[in-house]
Amino acid sequence: MGEYDSEKVKQRLLKRIRQDKRDLLKRRALRAFQYTVVGLVCLGLGYGYYTMSAPHQDVRMLNHGNEIVLQQSDGSYKAIRDNINTSIRSKNGRRIGFLKGNQLLYYGTPTTEELGFNTLSVPYKKQFKLILGDGTKVHLNAGTTLKYPVQFKSGSEREVFLDGEGYFEVARDQEHPFIVNTNALNIQVLGTEFNVSAYSDDVNISTVLVEGSVGFFERDETFDAIKSQRLDPGHIANWQKKDGSMQIEETDTDLYTGWMEGKIIFNHTPFKKIRKILERNYNVVISNGYEELDEVRFTASFDTETIEQVLHTFSKNYPMRYTVDDREIVIKKP
């Protein structure tokens, strides 16, 4: 779609119209042009929605919109708007869940023999809560996509696919372990609470355990309860995408779960990472022409502040200039 030259096509069509002066053909050509444009727009939207069906893909172009998008297993799409209460139905019309505001609840149903996956895409500046059919609660942060089955398959692991950040409260089921698939690292649990940050454009995948126990294994591996690394409550595991190394250390879990209460917390965080977090939470684009600033680390906490107030706070602690033009922010040397 990026190579499509609409102006060139338009000129070609108009030239053909001028060559034939008969009114009837003029109307038909103009109508054909309109259908072509509409068709191309639909193809573009269709391509964007189609990419959501993959377990791991870049959905940022959807996440920059202002609506939460639900792609159902039957191929249909639903834009989730604020203050809307409605039932979610399967392709045969059966009620399988209920949407209320910023929360989607799936009814507890028996496990199925066939998996049907839904995909939920949360745009920048928004959050969403999802309750799966097994009772597992998932809080999704801004710019996140989760692919999950409407019903879990009997006798198999409960698998979901995450691109972004989510807080999981997993319903305990000894016979069906719960697995979170990220870009390259998988996390297996039985029943626990933990936060996973696995944005595709971040250099690492972080997992913070609040309660219970989790184990890790890479995408092409099989989970081994004896050999796999484990995480204890109150600890964070940072897995580096570049070399596959993992560092585990003790941490304050509130620093990584405050986003569910609308807080943005930075703890000795480099400004390069801060810029990404601000872009997701405020739905803005930040261009930094002050390269030295990217390596400066900040400790700060925000909740109700506007993006202008946040930038003003940083500028008081470190000399820099910035301009805000709608969603475009440019940072420069002082």
The pLDDT, as a whole number, for residue 303 is 93
Q: Is the pLDDT of residue 56 over 50?
A: no
205 shares a domain with 132: yes
Q: Is the pLDDT of residue 184 over 50?
A: yes
Contacts of 27 (CB under 8 A, 6+ apart): none
Whether residue 258 lies inside any domain: the answer is no
44 shares a domain with 66: no
Report residue 274 as tokens. 């801060």
21 shares a domain with 87: no
Q: Is the pLDDT of residue 227 over 60?
A: yes
Quote the number of domains for the chain: 3
| CA–CA gap between residue 241 and residue 184 (Å, rounded) | 8
pLDDT-derived band at 196 (thresholds 50, 70, 90) equals very high
The pLDDT, as a whole number, for residue 46 is 45
Report residue 222 as tokens. 């099989």
| CA–CA gap between residue 327 and residue 287 (Å, rounded) | 11
**Which residue has tokens 């996140």?**
144
The pLDDT, as a whole number, for residue 229 is 87
The pLDDT, as a whole number, for residue 85 is 86
Q: For the residues 235-257, what does the mean pLDDT come to? A: 94
Amino acid at 302: F
Domain CATH for 223: 2.60.120.1440
Please provide the average confidence, as pLDDT, over all residues in the chain.
Answer: 83
Amino acid at 135: G
Whether residue 1 lies inside any domain: the answer is no
Among the ranges given (129-138, 217-226, 254-263), the one the predictor scored with the smallest mean pLDDT: 217-226
Residue 63's nearest CA partner among 142, 179, 169, 131 is 142
Q: Is the pLDDT of residue 4 over 70?
A: no
pLDDT-derived band at 257 (thresholds 50, 70, 90) equals very high
**What backbone phi and psi angles, to 5 degrees, belong to 6?**
-65, -35
| CA–CA gap between residue 29 and residue 70 (Å, rounded) | 37
What are the tens digits of pLDDT across the range 141-170? 999 999 999 888 888 889 999 999 999 999
User: Are the C-beta atoms of residues 293 and 271 closer than 8 Å to each other?
Assistant: yes
Whether residue 255 lies inside any domain: the answer is no
- Give the HSE-up count for residue 333: Cα atoms under 13 Å, Cβ half-sphere: 3
Domain CATH for 269: 3.55.50.30
Bridge partners, residue 247, by sequence: 238
Q: Is the pLDDT of residue 54 over 80?
A: no
The pLDDT, as a whole number, for residue 200 is 93
203 shares a domain with 164: yes
End-to-end, the C-alpha distance of the chain in Å comes to 40
Local structure of 174: helix, strand or coil: coil
**What backbone phi and psi angles, to 5 degrees, belong to 161?**
-125, 120
Q: For the residues 47-53, what does the mean pLDDT come to? A: 39
Question: What is the percent of the chain with per-residue pLDDT over 70, rounded to a whole number?
Answer: 78
167 shares a domain with 42: no
The residue ranking higher by pLDDT, 3 or 65, is 65
Q: For the residues 297-320, what does the mean pLDDT come to? A: 95
pLDDT-derived band at 84 (thresholds 50, 70, 90) equals confident
Q: List, in sequence order, the alpha helices (H) in 183-230.
A: none
Q: For the residues 74-90, what does the mean pLDDT come to? A: 83
| CA–CA gap between residue 258 and residue 274 (Å, rounded) | 15
Q: Is the pLDDT of residue 76 over 90?
A: no
Report residue 45 as tokens. 């939207």
73 shares a domain with 30: no
Whether residue 256 lies inside any domain: the answer is no
Q: For the residues 229-258, what does the mean pLDDT come to? A: 94
Question: What is the percent of the chain with per-residue pLDDT over 90, rounded to a whole number?
Answer: 57
The pLDDT, as a whole number, for residue 55 is 40
Report residue 331 as tokens. 């940072």
Give the structural domain span for 223: 58-250
